[in-house]
């Protein structure tokens, strides 16, 4: 191991102090990339713990820009996103689902970035949809109140993420996974109370749900769905086959619980997919056109169904729908009524009127 970073060979788990030191070293320009890459690779090879994942997230949040949004116990702030990294090439499911959820009455604060390991990240497709990506922190509550949803670009709110862009890109090119492939969904500066997060590796669901709880989420699902083939998976709830879920919930008495279960799309009324290729996405422009078509009700089928399923899960976590089946009805109605499409229009209008550009 390098002389700069903690020796992971003797550390089963880094302390918060060691995490802070490591993060500072990672962002120091005078240190070459090789020891930084070696440290991150060794940490991932040893296996990150839930406490380390939460610890790195806290350290980055502490160094970032704060977002203050008034809380409403009856309407929690909602995040729905995926870690990325599944290499499935699907349409931007969670980004489209944010408008379905907002149209159904949820308060969605989505945090994301441009694509690193994919052709089209959430920021890329939102930009193609005409949404302004750059907001002043003080404008975020106004946009949310007006539109029902708001997008926070990670690089604008987290200097650490920006300073590590080159290192992360070189690691991605080398095919090296690191803790930063997991951290994105944990870094929402609005600190949402409810969260739906897709995980590319089903073996990481339990420790990811634990990390979400450590970061103060009141209710959260870590999910992993079946991909186009039974031996592949996606960081979304899937309609191609069963999805694994680990649910975290904090009770009123502050006791927390973790529960594992399976969601079978056929049991919820979804039909078998005749053309799985319809789930695949393309570049930002083509994905934006399809999302608009789905939200308007023009395109139906597999991609629309997968968006509805993920939006329904998010609505259920927000307390909208006493059961997942009820939340599915709310999500479908959001599209049928035009409210989902209107939610996109409102975010486009409001973000541009408050743009920091």
Answer yes or no: is 226 within a domain: yes
Confidence at residue 116, expressed as pLDDT on a 0 to 100 scale:
65
Nearest to 262, CA basis, from 202, 339, 342, 344: 202
pLDDT at residue 305 is higher than 60: yes
| Res 203: pLDDT | 93
The mean pLDDT value of the chain amounts to 93
- The kind and range of the H/E element at 112 are strand 107-112
> What confidence tier does 150 reach under pLDDT thresholds 50, 70, 90?
very high
Asked if residue 200 has pLDDT above 60, the reply is: yes
Mean per-residue pLDDT, 153-168: 92
Nearest to 21 by CA among 39, 9, 37, 33: 39
Determine the Cα–Cα distance for residues 346 and 353; give it in Å rounded to an integer: 11
72 is a domain residue: no
pLDDT band at 84 (very low <50, low <70, confident <90, very high): confident
Predicted local confidence at residue 172, as pLDDT:
86
Our separate counts of H helices and E strands in the chain read 15, 8
- The answer to the question of residue 90 being in a domain is yes
Tell me the per-residue pLDDT of 94-137, one tens digit each, with 9 for 90 and over: 999 999 999 999 999 999 998 765 668 899 999 999 999 999 99
Confirm whether 146 is domain-assigned: yes
Q: What is the pLDDT of residue 3?
A: 62
**Parallel, antiparallel or unpaired: strands 233-234 and 219-226:** antiparallel
CA atoms of 130 and 320, how far apart (whole Å)? 28
Task: Please check whether residue 103 lies inside any domain of the structure.
Answer: yes
d(CA 179, CA 202): 16
- Residue numbers of the domain that contains 100: 77-155+179-353
What is the model's pLDDT at position 9? 67
Strand boundaries in 124-280, DSSP class E: 149-153, 194-198, 219-226, 233-234, 243-250, 256-263
| Residue 141 belongs to some domain of the structure | yes
Return the higher-pLDDT residue of 207 and 4: 207
Count of structural domains, the chain: 1
Residue 89 pLDDT level (bands cut at 50, 70, 90)? confident
% residues pLDDT > 70 (the chain): 96
Say if CB 198 and CB 83 are below 8 A apart.
yes
Strands 77-82, 194-198: pairing is parallel
- Count of C-beta atoms within a 10 Å radius of residue 75: 15
CATH of the domain at 83: 3.40.1030.10
Query: Which pLDDT does position 1 carry in this prediction?
Result: 43
**Is residue 17, in this structure, part of any structural domain at all?**
no
Q: How many residues does the chain have?
A: 357
Convert the pLDDT of each residue in 240-286 to its tens digit: 999 999 999 997 767 889 999 999 999 999 988 877 788 999 999 99
CA 198 to chain centre: 7
CA distances from 211 to 166, 214, 245 (A): 26, 5, 15
Give the pLDDT mean for 214-239.
90
Q: How far apart are CA 320 and CA 217, in angstroms?
A: 17
**Mean pLDDT, residues 233-243 taken together:** 93
CA distance 293 to 243: 26
**Which pLDDT value is given to residue 231?**
67
Q: Identify the band that residue 213 occupies on the pLDDT scale cut at 50, 70 and 90.
A: very high
CB atoms within 10 A of CB 139: 17
Pairing state between β 149-153 and 194-198: unpaired
Residue 8 lies in a domain: no
């Amino acid at each position: 191991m390098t002389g700069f970073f903690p020796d992971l060979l003797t550390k089963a788990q880094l302390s918060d102090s060691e995490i802070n030191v490591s993060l500072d070293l990672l962002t120091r320009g005078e240190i070459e990339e090789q020891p930084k890459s070696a440290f991150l690779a060794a940490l991932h090879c040893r296996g990150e713990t839930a406490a380390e994942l939460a610890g790195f997230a806290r350290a980055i949040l502490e160094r970032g820009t704060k977002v203050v949004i008034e809380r409403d116990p009856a309407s929690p702030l909602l995040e729905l996103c995926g870690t990325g990294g599944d290499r499935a090439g699907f349409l931007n499911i969670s980004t489209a689902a944010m408008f379905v959820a907002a149209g159904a009455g949820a308060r969605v604060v989505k945090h994301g970035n441009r694509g690193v390991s994919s052709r089209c990240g959430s920021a890329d497709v939102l930009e193609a949809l005409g949404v302004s990506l750059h907001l002043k922190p003080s404008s975020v509550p106004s946009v949310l109140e007006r539109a029902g949803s708001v997008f926070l670009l990670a690089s604008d709110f987290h200097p650490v993420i920006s300073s590590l862009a080159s290192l992360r890109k070189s690691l991605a090119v080398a095919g090296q996974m690191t803790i930063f492939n997991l951290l994105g969904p944990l870094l929402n500066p609005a600190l949402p109370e409810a969260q739906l997060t897709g995980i590319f590796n089903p073996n990481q669901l339990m420790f990811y749900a634990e990390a979400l709880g450590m970061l103060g989420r009141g209710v959260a699902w870590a999910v992993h769905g079946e991909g186009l083939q039974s031996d592949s998976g996606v960081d979304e709830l899937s309609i191609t086959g069963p999805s694994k879920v680990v649910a975290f919930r904090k009770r009123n008495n502050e006791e927390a619980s973790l529960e594992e279960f399976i969601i079978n799309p056929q049991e919820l009324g979804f039909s078998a997919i005749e053309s799985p290729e319809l789930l695949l996405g393309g570049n930002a422009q083509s994905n934006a056109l399809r999302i608009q078509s789905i939200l308007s009700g023009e395109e139906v089928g597999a991609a629309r169904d997968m968006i509805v399923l993920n939006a329904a899960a998010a609505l259920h976590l927000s307390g909208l729908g006493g059961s997942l089946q009820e939340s599915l009805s709310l999500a479908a109605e959001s599209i049928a009524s035009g409210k989902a499409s209107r939610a996109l229009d409102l975010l486009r209008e409001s973000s541009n009127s408050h743009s920091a550009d």
